[in-house]
Structure 1
């Protein structure tokens, strides 16, 4: 029942999805009992599409009288009705929420205590005549805290002071109300109100530790740690270190004001004690005295440390006698990076303790310096320190590879070993890896004392990627990658050989050209023919070898293929006088002929075109008269010149013109020679035989 609109708002759950168009109708009726008897019906209420609530106007309601209400759902498959609800509209009244406000500060009113909030609210105006109760909820804005409920609030009061909150913290608050003692529904939560609690002076204990500088003992570095004494000890805005001079009541001289947890200041010569306080806007904490005493107590013995895991260190000792009241433990990175400002410290109040596990600011694979100082009643003992590694680590760097020499199938590498590192175990070995362009990997393991390595079996003119891995017991580290390419095989030698070969070829060509130009006597383009101009007839007569003698069957004389008889001219006493005749020779009584020795059958079967072969052909000449009583003269020449039997239309340079055939296939006979022509007279026009007429006639005897 909404008193603002004076209407009864009913809402329902639609039920399971039917996947059919469904219409809902709110039905109700008036009743004077427990809705057992049905009175006047109330007009049906049809909600809008998609809504599951509907309002019955005030004019259809009868206050303080029960009424029955239900919902009817209908679709194509049928009708369904919800269970009937019987109620009095005034029993379901829902009030509107009040409005929260902060209280205005009043000069007469005392300021709120730390952790408290003062607030008020304005109730809903139409509900002022209705008795109601309210409740408040709040939560801090920081973090993900849940709501905290406070109530019921006093019925008559419209203001309230909320305490027990965190100081200097912003809160969100909401309020709601319900009709009381009559039944009804809680109103919605009011709009949120944001308020901030007042601060509280810090309630902490400050653990302190100090250290004097070696060069200047009056310069003191003071450290402290706040330890909250309550769950809500208040926020701290800063710290003040002050000194109160003796004999000056109320005089306080500040030495340091900082928001850090350490401070360095110059201690006055007469000062033996300073005070440290934490402050905020609400006040200061209780002062913590810091006494600068000398180290007069006994020291610790058997201090040792070891790594439990990469993030913790265990430090142990043997307590002195008498037992101290506590210990101060400091730890930080060891040399070469020693810095007091980066050290972590803590105070152990148990004087009988024999060790402590350090977990704060411990990083793996580092060297730490740990210092333990015993604390006594009015003094302290000397500090003892020990070095420990949180965990052994691999080398930080691997040596860088350098290329020293390179060849076609090898490469020489070298490197400079890294200097030993403090806190790192020594190297155990090196491993060198190289990969070719086909992603084939190769490796070799070397001693830790190695300074270089030669890669063998590389491919010429190939690209390789090489890196070195330095390994120790704790791990390994790779170097940067070196990329190189092997040389081309026989690069410079091949160029030199090609150059020399070219020079030799050019020199041979020049020598051959000069030899051909300067030696006209010998021509390699045709068979070798003796030069008659530079020879004698006797040099033409060869020595008959056994293999050159042709024997007739059953006879001791050579076979003669053709025989021509030269008859003497009776009128001419000179046997070699030329005569005009139609014969081929210029002499009238002599006929020159060539006798071809050999097998006549072979001569007849072989064509004349084969007479120009390179086989040796023997020529013979028989001179004399058949009527002469004496034997004839047989002259034989060892010549490789082929027979000029083939009369070609185009004579060669060494053929005589009289060998050329006429169109009538007759020999052209030259004119008769002069009187002193010999038997070789008709051949004197042959260019190669012109030199025989002068020299070489001695071998002819009486001819």
Structure 2
């Protein structure tokens, strides 16, 4: 620091005594490269010819930021700025002149900072016999932050003894090698060293702030040999050993005695295991105590027997697999009863734990299960598999079985399987809790007579089948940690079986989560019923795989159109809820929230619209309507009963059947003249038959002809006409004729006979002035009292074109009289 202050003082004195004419418009500093954190003093002239002869106000900037005025120092000729500690790795320092036209840049300079180089350390050199060079490496403690040049120098010495004991840096070097900073290594060619003469080597580091040199290394190259990596030529496994053979390389064959070491690791190990170092003249090594049927990797390195020079690099890896051996140890078994068949055979699932690597002694094991204890006995083999479980039917009465593990080298000792009954006492207390996210902790009260315990667990699902995991604990234990196949947010069913001398205890079981979380979703609400003031919704429970914890409860929320919110909390077993006290004809938004110990999840929104009427109201209205309809039906029935005859005559009038009439027995009006008194009030006792006698109308007649006088009609002429037209009547009985009512038609007076001594009135019929046709192409439909026989007649002049034999069936016609010109005519005179 004192050196820096002295340099600054000298610089200030020089600047003060510089002649004015010599002064230029530039920033002046002692050096543009300084040590990081050291002070910095810079000068800028106050007068510059470029800006005229007036004195200028100088403003300093560092990386675009104005330097505070407190750091300025101005005099008549210059302006200076002082930094007590310059902590920027690089900084742009600028000098501005504040003239009338604004700020004008006078000069700028880039300041770089760094550290003085430090001497390199850990300088080491060795001779490579294959490449015939001396290779050196070193280390630098820190990066100076500046451009650095690293040079490796070497020089040979004449005085061997003095040079090695008192190694100093020579005044000059024979060979210089410039190295890249990232490599920190150099090589000295063969022409610059002798194998048996001392060689001095040193490293120099230099930058703009200074230089540093490492401690020199003096060596005789032939004693600093580093062998090439050792290559294993042959590896032979046998029993639990491996025999290795290797070579040193062509250039190192003159080295007869070496010190070598070997390291190895199995496929199940992460770290290398180092074997004991040994001086080896014969390039061979044997390693024993290895696990059978296991893949091993081997590497070897060597150094000179005197340990001078350097260890060679570890050679290429050689891998091999040790041979199989006979399995040892007994299998740990467990069994489950699946079902019983009608023939008393029991279906058994047998499970067992795999042997460890030291006991299996093979990559692949087979397992065989038999009823007898002899592996080679000729009895039924119940299982022969490579899996860790098998299922078979055990005949009734068999209480034990045997299992073996075998490989290509042989079979293990037999392990007995006890198939005792499961009717023992269970443990008095068992508690299962979470140990961490991937394990469970089980605690129980131990049973005094229990030899051991079996813990069985599996992930609970909607299906009945699940993957069984199990483990064995000794009889004195009361705690166990379950690790296999435990995952967070999954429910597990844990069972504990105590094993007694002659039986197996009943299981104690519990369900537990290693970690609980919020459900994946909340159930979707569905509407069951809705009324005027209440509504019921239901939902399906969340599947076990997606609950992520025990459902502690449900909360149902509903909101009306006015923003009023309501809620209700339910237990975790609920599947429906009825909302009450709702407003009629109102829309509600309803959703369900499901909760566990790890959180909650909200479901989708269900919109419910209440009715104007409730079900009870609708039923009451239907009841009133039914009663009203019933009353109306009863009243109508009573009216029908009371007015039976009138209603019957109204809709179904009584028409006498002429075929069954007794009128044929009546006396003719010739024998006894009927005396009928017409009573207008008693209409029902009048029997009338109006007969219309029409004149024959042949085609169209002129109006003059239609105005002729009425011609009297006699029945004798009428019957003569009937006889003449008998033939035409027979041929055209099925044809209809058209009749036209004309002005010349004269209606007759009809006197009807009395019914049972009653006096009938005389009916006078006048002619009609209507010109409308009475009959068309098709005969009109007869009335209820008309006889269809008359409409089948083909005569044109009269409707009484009947045969005499047919009139006998209608006695009523016998009593008809036609009065014309004061004379009474009878149809049968």
TM-score range, shorter chain: 0.5 to 0.7
Distance 1:25 1:458, change over 3 A: farther
Cα displacement (A) at 1:26: 0.9
Distance in 1 (alpha carbons) for counterparts of 2:493 and 2:229: 63
Match for residue 226 of structure 2?
Answer: 94
Deviations, residues 183-206 of structure 1 (Å, cap 9, x unaligned): 222122222222223334433431
Where 1:415 maps in the other structure, the secondary structure is strand
1:384 aligns to 2:506 (yes or no) = yes
Deviations, residues 366-408 of structure 1 (Å, cap 9, x unaligned): 58473635331xx325x424453437999996572439669xx
1:123 aligns to 2:223 (yes or no) = no
State which drifts further: 261-270 or 450-459.
450-459
Distance in 1 (alpha carbons) for counterparts of 2:204 and 2:541: 91
Match for residue 416 of structure 1?
Answer: 538
1:261 aligns to 2:388 (yes or no) = yes
Match for residue 334 of structure 2?
Answer: 209
Match for residue 284 of structure 2?
Answer: 159
1:223 aligns to 2:340 (yes or no) = no
Distance 1:436 1:242, change over 3 A: same
1:113 aligned to which of 239, 250, 254: 239
Distance in 1 (alpha carbons) for counterparts of 2:299 and 2:359: 24
1:197 aligns to 2:329 (yes or no) = no
Match for residue 294 of structure 2?
Answer: 169
Match for residue 656 of structure 1?
Answer: none
1:5 aligns to 2:131 (yes or no) = yes
Residue 146 of structure 2 contacts residue 208 of structure 2 at CA under 8 Å; is this kept in 1?
Answer: no
1:442 aligned to which of 565, 574, 584: 565
Distance 1:446 1:370, change over 3 A: closer
Distance in 2 (alpha carbons) for counterparts of 1:248 and 1:80: 81
Deviations, residues 112-163 of structure 1 (Å, cap 9, x unaligned): 014x333211221121111342434444464661222224245122232222
Residue 344 of structure 2 contacts residue 396 of structure 2 at CA under 8 Å; is this kept in 1?
Answer: no
Deviations, residues 419-458 of structure 1 (Å, cap 9, x unaligned): 8999999997753144989xx7833337788423465599
Residue 426 of structure 2 contacts residue 507 of structure 2 at CA under 8 Å; is this kept in 1?
Answer: no
Residue 259 of structure 2 contacts residue 305 of structure 2 at CA under 8 Å; is this kept in 1?
Answer: no
Residue 401 of structure 1 contacts residue 413 of structure 1 at CA under 8 Å; is this kept in 2?
Answer: no
Residue 452 of structure 2 contacts residue 500 of structure 2 at CA under 8 Å; is this kept in 1?
Answer: yes
Match for residue 183 of structure 1?
Answer: 308
Cα displacement (A) at 1:223: 2.6
1:59 aligned to which of 191, 211, 216: 191
Match for residue 482 of structure 1?
Answer: 606
Cα displacement (A) at 1:280: 3.5
Distance 1:137 1:479, change over 3 A: same
Distance 1:328 1:248, change over 3 A: closer
Please list, as runs of the form range in 1=range in 2, the aligned pairs for 1:589-668 lying within 5 A after superposition. Answer: none
Distance in 2 (alpha carbons) for counterparts of 1:360 and 1:329: 12
Distance in 1 (alpha carbons) for counterparts of 2:589 and 2:347: 58
Distance 1:8 1:333, change over 3 A: closer
Cα displacement (A) at 1:76: 5.0
Distance in 1 (alpha carbons) for counterparts of 2:148 and 2:373: 95
Where 1:388 maps in the other structure, the secondary structure is strand
2:162 aligned to which of 4, 24, 34: 34
Cα displacement (A) at 1:93: 1.8
Distance 1:480 1:199, change over 3 A: farther
Where 2:191 maps in the other structure, the secondary structure is helix
Cα displacement (A) at 1:264: 1.4
Distance 1:126 1:331, change over 3 A: closer
Where 1:205 maps in the other structure, the secondary structure is coil
Cα displacement (A) at 1:288: 0.6
Where 2:251 maps in the other structure, the secondary structure is helix
Where 1:167 maps in the other structure, the secondary structure is coil
Residue 552 of structure 2 contacts residue 597 of structure 2 at CA under 8 Å; is this kept in 1?
Answer: yes
Distance in 2 (alpha carbons) for counterparts of 1:335 and 1:40: 86
Compare relative contact order (CA 8 Å, sep 6+) and give the higher one, 1 or 2. Answer: 1
Where 1:146 maps in the other structure, the secondary structure is coil
Residue 13 of structure 1 contacts residue 52 of structure 1 at CA under 8 Å; is this kept in 2?
Answer: yes
Distance in 1 (alpha carbons) for counterparts of 2:387 and 2:500: 24
Distance 1:325 1:65, change over 3 A: same
Distance in 2 (alpha carbons) for counterparts of 1:248 and 1:235: 20
Distance in 2 (alpha carbons) for counterparts of 1:12 and 1:367: 61
Distance in 1 (alpha carbons) for counterparts of 2:362 and 2:523: 51
Distance 1:69 1:387, change over 3 A: closer
Where 1:17 maps in the other structure, the secondary structure is coil
Distance in 2 (alpha carbons) for counterparts of 1:426 and 1:155: 72
Distance 1:128 1:415, change over 3 A: same
Distance in 1 (alpha carbons) for counterparts of 2:340 and 2:555: 45
2:452 aligned to which of 326, 339, 353: 326
1:45 aligns to 2:169 (yes or no) = no
Cα displacement (A) at 1:467: 0.9
Superposition CA RMSD, Å: 4.9
Structure 2 unmatched ranges of 5 or more: 1-126, 612-829
Residue 327 of structure 1 contacts residue 374 of structure 1 at CA under 8 Å; is this kept in 2?
Answer: yes
Residue 403 of structure 1 contacts residue 412 of structure 1 at CA under 8 Å; is this kept in 2?
Answer: no
Distance 1:135 1:415, change over 3 A: same
Where 2:296 maps in the other structure, the secondary structure is strand
Where 1:283 maps in the other structure, the secondary structure is coil
Distance in 1 (alpha carbons) for counterparts of 2:598 and 2:273: 55
Distance 1:79 1:232, change over 3 A: same
State which drifts further: 304-313 or 189-198.
304-313
Where 1:34 maps in the other structure, the secondary structure is helix
Structure 1 unmatched ranges of 5 or more: 106-110, 488-703
Distance 1:139 1:430, change over 3 A: same
Distance 1:205 1:481, change over 3 A: farther
